[in-house]
């Protein structure tokens, strides 16, 4: 297998693309070549990743900057951040061509233009205590975000019909979560994905998968036969399976959920040796064709402000 990489240079001009050298793995189905490793700028502090099918988008916890990477060509565009801004979870909204970005401790979600990075709207979720807006998912009915410090679902509802307009900032609301979710010390709800009218989230500290009714806020633990996913971070839906990134364990669990998300079975595990290149605390994952692209968040690394960061590919298996 020919190995080669794409590098996202520090000198990438803001709002402008540049073509960088690349090397790739060749899929058996003759799809366009896909890179095994994509370098990110030193000090990037990545956490979230998403895709529109042709590009990858990764945000920075340092200042909320976002890098857009064309998977086939390696062309990159860097969207500027701002002092005090953070990008944690990120999801692409195809209907609006928008990136929805979780703002961490800033208690907000941003809608940003996927072509320019311009902040189009900011949705605030004030609270009396601390809040950490960790991850989010876009559905036909709205945007749903997790707060890792509370029993609350953060919601930005869309208007009815086929309108692609962004909701007014005042429409953001908070839905209390009831049922099986019990808060524990550390990070609670983290990654979240949509399954029709339900949501599925992972509780990082307990390793539980939880089904959430986005209208009532009622939560139900997914019965996984005693298997837990401690250090669960980003979630991604695949072909009939759910991928659960377990960050500090350096692996991705592959879970088969029943069609009503009541039960789940661990059917495979993508281990450290299964990745095309080194991984170091992967946080979130984006599925493109038959490849999983994972961000190496490198939580706990010495000198994170100058450390190296990258994206690593693995075969999706399913």
CATH 2.120.10.30 fits 5-315, yes or no: yes
Residue extents of the structural domains in the chain: 5-315
Strand arrangement, sheet containing 152-157: 133-138, 142-147, 152-157, 173-176
pTM: 0.91
Confidence of residue 32 (pLDDT cuts 50, 70, 90): low
- As a whole-number percent, the residues of the chain with pLDDT over 70 amount to 90
Residue 4 has pLDDT above 50, yes or no: no
Helices (H) and strands (E) in the chain, counts: 0, 27
Average the pLDDT over 136-144 and give the result: 97
pLDDT at 255: 98
How far apart, in Å, are the Cα atoms of 43 and each of 10, 46, 152, 157, 306?
10, 9, 32, 35, 4
What DSSP state is assigned to residue 34? Answer: B
| pLDDT (tens digit per residue) in 91-138 | 999 999 999 999 999 999 999 999 999 999 999 999 999 999 999 999
Which secondary structure element, helix H or strand E, spans residue 104, and what is its range? none
Picking from 11-15, 70-74, 314-318, which range would have the lowest pLDDT averaged per residue?
11-15
| pLDDT (tens digit per residue) in 233-262 | 999 999 999 999 999 999 999 999 999 999
């Amino acid at each position: 297998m020919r190995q080669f990489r794409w590098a996202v240079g520090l000198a990438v001009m803001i709002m402008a693309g540049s073509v960088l050298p690349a090397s790739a793995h060749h899929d058996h189905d003759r799809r366009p070549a896909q890179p095994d490793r994509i370098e990110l700028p030193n000090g990037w502090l990545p956490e979230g990743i998403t895709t529109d099918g042709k590009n990858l988008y990764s945000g920075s916890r340092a200042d909320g900057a976002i890098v857009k990477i064309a998977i086939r060509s390696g062309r990159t565009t860097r969207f500027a951040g701002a002092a005090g801004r953070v990008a944690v979870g990120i999801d692409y909204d195809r209907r609006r061509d928008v990136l929805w970005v979780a703002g961490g401790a800033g208690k907000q979600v941003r809608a940003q233009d996927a072509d320019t990075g311009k902040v189009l709207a900011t949705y605030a979720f004030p609270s009396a205590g601390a809040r950490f807006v960790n991850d989010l998912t876009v559905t036909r009915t709205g945007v749903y975000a997790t707060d890792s410090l509370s029993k609350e679902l953060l919601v930005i509802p869309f208007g009815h019909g086929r309108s692609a307009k962004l909701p007014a900032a005042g429409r953001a609301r908070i839905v209390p979560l009831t049922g099986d979710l019990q808060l524990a010390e550390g990070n609670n709800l983290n990654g979240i994905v949509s399954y029709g009218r339900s949501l599925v989230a992972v509780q990082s500290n307990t390793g539980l998968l939880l089904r959430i009714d986005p209208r009532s806020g009622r939560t139900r633990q997914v019965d996984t036969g005693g298997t837990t996913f401690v250090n669960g971070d980003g979630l991604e839906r695949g072909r009939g399976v759910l991928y659960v990134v377990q960050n500090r364990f350096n692996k991705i669990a592959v879970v088969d959920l029943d069609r009503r998300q009541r039960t789940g079975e661990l059917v495979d595990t993508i281990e450290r040796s299964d990745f095309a290149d080194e991984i170091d605390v992967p946080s979130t994952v984006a599925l493109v064709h038959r490849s999983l692209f994972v961000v190496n968040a490198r939580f706990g690394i010495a000198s994170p402000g100058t450390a190296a960061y990258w994206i690593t590919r693995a075969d999706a298996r399913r």
